[in-house]
Amino acid sequence: MKEYGLALCGGGGKGAFQIGVWKALEETGYWSQVKAVSGTSIGGLNAVLFALGDFRQAKRIWYSVREDMVFSPRRERDGRIIPLFSRAGLEKILDSLDLSRLARSPWEVYVNIYNIRTGKVESHRLNHRSVREQKELLLATSALPVLYDKIPIRGEDYLDGGLGILESGNVPVAPLYEQGYRDIIISSLDAELSPGDLKKNYPGGNFTAIVPLEDLGDLVTGTLDFSQTGIRNRMIAGYHDGLKQLRNEDVYFMKNNYSKINVQIRNQMTRMFSSAKELERFIETTNFSNLNIPGLTLGGLFFYTNVVEMFGWKLQQHNVPGLQSHYRFLDNRDVRRAWVLNPEDILRALDDYEAAEKFDRE
């Protein structure tokens, strides 16, 4: 059986994605093969949660985060306004964790921090350090410049380990590789991560990258977004995207191959929905990005073909040759409740809805 190292990249609020990846690792059997975890910035904080091994606790902590905890303005100092945020919120989270348990964790835990004086990234193992040292290192790995103060440790000043971009500081592979791990799973918060580039610096390494299949947002809408809606959506995306990539599923759909797409939609809807109420909830909670004004139809007698018919509801495809094909959902009174141009959007919506339902039950 392979032994894996797990590298958790940084990315602020986007780090909720990695909690979803955790669940995907469990369901695909990889979790039991992970023996070490390393992290940078928010990935370092998640690395500790992973090593403590309590998934429900990790979810609870992320759901307890509020933006005013992360970005609590500093008060005046010596009559000056300091344009930095307080670390009180993070310190409160760290105080809620029993960090002494890391000494008994079956996983090795590493974090990356950036030494201001040397301009180098350093990796430190947390397991057998004192709780005070662990907190210092976790505060340092998440100390984004400008936003937060530097963290002094043993006479040196440190900031967020992701600053060492030229050394791949934000992709904390190095401590795992140096400890002899050659099979490494990387949970990136950036879809553009290329494992091929890492192989140049880490010969013999076998890298499995789990990346967001859709953009998690920019600096403002992603990294600095600790809203509860953003956190929940990114957790679910991590679970959904992680399952697809760990199972080597095709993440692209069958563009314009309507017969195959329709079969896939029909099979998935039949498996997922056991009542009209469940189907209606899916339609009501899904944003298909098309404005729909519910209106009574003729039920598709002339220009539509039924793709799925269940509980009196219908999913129909427009079938007039030469015109733009589209799909629509009709309720049991033949009122149009939603419509979609691309059937791939229906498949994506079904995948996302199923992942959200399953993830929320945990």
**Residue 257: band (very low, low, confident or very high) from pLDDT cuts 50, 70, 90:** low
Q: Is the pLDDT of residue 149 over 70?
A: yes
Q: Could you tell me the maximum CA-CA distance found in the chain, to the nearest angstrom?
A: 79
What percent of the chain is modeled with pLDDT above 70?
90
State residue 317's pLDDT score. 92
Between the alpha carbon of residue 112 and those of residues 131, 154, 280, the distances in Å are 17, 16, 47
Could you tell me where the beta strands, DSSP code E, fall in the chain? 4-8, 34-40, 72-73, 85-86, 108-115, 120-125, 151-153, 156-160, 183-187, 206-210, 295-296, 304-310, 313-318, 327-330, 335-340
Q: 236-246: buried (b, 16+ CB within 10 Å) or exposed (e) per residue?
A: bbbbbbbbbbb
Beta bridge partners of 318: 304
Segment 184-218, tens digit of pLDDT = 999 999 877 767 668 778 999 999 989 898 889 88
Segment 114-131, tens digit of pLDDT = 999 998 999 999 999 999
What percent of the chain is modeled with pLDDT above 90?
52
Between the alpha carbon of residue 317 and those of residues 154, 291, 308, 309, 323, the distances in Å are 67, 18, 10, 12, 12
Q: Is the pLDDT of residue 80 over 60?
A: no
State residue 248's pLDDT score. 81
- Check if the beta carbon of residue 110 is closer than 8 Å to that of residue 126: yes
d(CA 252, CA 240): 14
State residue 166's pLDDT score. 47
- Check if the beta carbon of residue 157 is closer than 8 Å to that of residue 116: yes
- Check if the beta carbon of residue 186 is closer than 8 Å to that of residue 208: yes
d(CA 121, CA 112): 6
State residue 73's pLDDT score. 61
Q: Tell me which of 230-234, 256-260, 346-350 is least confident.
A: 256-260
Mean pLDDT of the chain: 87
Residue 327's closest CA among 279, 270, 261?
Answer: 261
Segment 297-333, tens digit of pLDDT = 999 888 899 999 889 999 999 988 766 678 999 999 9
- Helix (H, G, I), strand (E, B), or coil: what is residue 113? strand
Beta bridge partners of 279: none
Q: How far, in whole angstroms, is CA 3 from its chain's centroid?
A: 23
Segment 30-72, tens digit of pLDDT = 999 999 999 999 999 999 999 999 999 999 999 988 777 776 6
**Residue 172: band (very low, low, confident or very high) from pLDDT cuts 50, 70, 90:** very high
Q: What is the DSSP string of 76-100?
A: PBTTB----EESHHHHHHHHTS-GG
d(CA 338, CA 288): 8
**Residue 15: band (very low, low, confident or very high) from pLDDT cuts 50, 70, 90:** very high
Residue 186's closest CA among 62, 34, 23?
Answer: 34
Q: Is the pLDDT of residue 78 over 70?
A: no
Q: Is the pLDDT of residue 241 over 50?
A: yes
Alpha-carbon torsion, ordered 142, 147, 152, 157, to 10 deg: 90
Q: Is the pLDDT of residue 135 over 90?
A: yes
Residues 6+ apart with CB under 8 A from 362: 23, 55, 56, 59
d(CA 4, CA 32): 9
Q: Is the pLDDT of residue 83 over 50?
A: no
Residues 6+ apart with CB under 8 A from 268: 347, 350, 354
State residue 262's pLDDT score. 83
